[in-house]
Amino acid sequence: YGRVLQDVFIKKRNEKGGTFDMIMHAREGILRFEPATRELFVDMKQCDMLQGGAVGVMDERTWPIALPPDFCAAAATLRATDMMWDELYECEEKTIDEREELAKEIERHQRQIDRGRAGAHFAEHVQHLTSEWRLRKSQLLALDTERHMRVALALGCFCFALVGCPVGIWFCKSDYLSAFVICFLPIITIYYPALFCMINMARNAKASSWVTIHDANLLLTLVALYLFRRLARN
């Protein structure tokens, strides 16, 4: 339960493999991690140990476990959706630099190919670099789309409130279910499909993020203004 282990078995395998040099069993063990040495310790109580042909019993025994070098290392964030705001901008700067370096490398190799001085592997290398350049371009689109999507989803709640206010005023004397259905169904059937469609278009470079992702909120804002105008007239 948490750091406490019940019925713990620790086995040390023979260097040649196949058998175990030592087997230790404890009724209870507590996990303890030392960041300085990057080691994991198991504090065991009431231990039975079998080593070779010898059997031993101990009240307490601490068993160190060496961790791999990459354990607890910061995992590379691959998706834009997994990044914080600062990470989005840092990743964008890094990706832009990598794309520029790739473009220079492609131009350098292509120049040698055009002059007839290229090696046999230059054409294949240019294709590989071009694929990497396109990958960086897709990553930049994903980063840009992610920023606009977060803002659009946050503003969407405000737009829902703008539309809901006049509808709520009109149906204040009616049943709540009718007001809920009138506001809820258009959001599910129109707003979110339009928003996700625009997001995919921005990620695939079919349209600019500024133009597409915020269109759904713009539509809700226009509807809210129309409803408020009719409410004011009445």
| Average pLDDT score over residue span 191-203 | 88
Q: Are 73 and 66 in contact (CB under 8 A)?
A: no
Query: What pLDDT, on a 0 to 100 scale, did the predictor assign at position 140?
Result: 92
Chain segment 127-184, per-residue pLDDT in tens: 888 999 999 999 999 999 999 999 999 999 898 888 888 888 887 777 777 777 777 8
pLDDT of residue 150: 92
Q: How far is Cα 157 from Cα 154, in angstroms, rounded to an integer?
A: 6
Tokens standing for residue 19: 């058998």
Region for 108 from its dihedrals, namely left if φ exceeds 0, alpha if ψ lies in -120 to 50, beta otherwise: alpha
- Choice between 103 and 63, residue whose per-residue pLDDT is larger: 103
How many percent of the chain have pLDDT more than 90? 19
Let me know: does 14 contact 21? Beta carbons within 8 Å.
yes
Residue range 53-82: mean pLDDT, rounded: 74
Tens digit of each residue's pLDDT (9 = 90 or more) over 74-117: 545 568 888 888 889 999 999 999 999 999 999 988 888 888 87
* Mean pLDDT confidence for 124-128: 87
pLDDT given for residue 22 in this prediction: 83
Q: Which two tokens mark 127?
A: 């294709």
DSSP 19: S
Total residue length of the chain? 234
Of the candidates 33, 23, 91, the one whose C-alpha atom is nearest the C-alpha of residue 65 is: 33
pLDDT of 3 reads 81
Among 58-62, 65-69, 219-223, 224-228, the least confident range? 65-69
41 vs 120, residue with greater confidence: 41
pTM above the 0.85 mark? no
Q: Is the pLDDT of residue 72 over 70?
A: no
Burial pattern 122-155, b for ≥16 Cβ within 10 A else e, equals eeeebeebeebbeebeebbbbbbbbbbbeebeeb
Bigger pLDDT: 80 or 38? 80
Res. 17: pLDDT tops 70: no
Q: What is the mean pLDDT of the chain?
A: 84
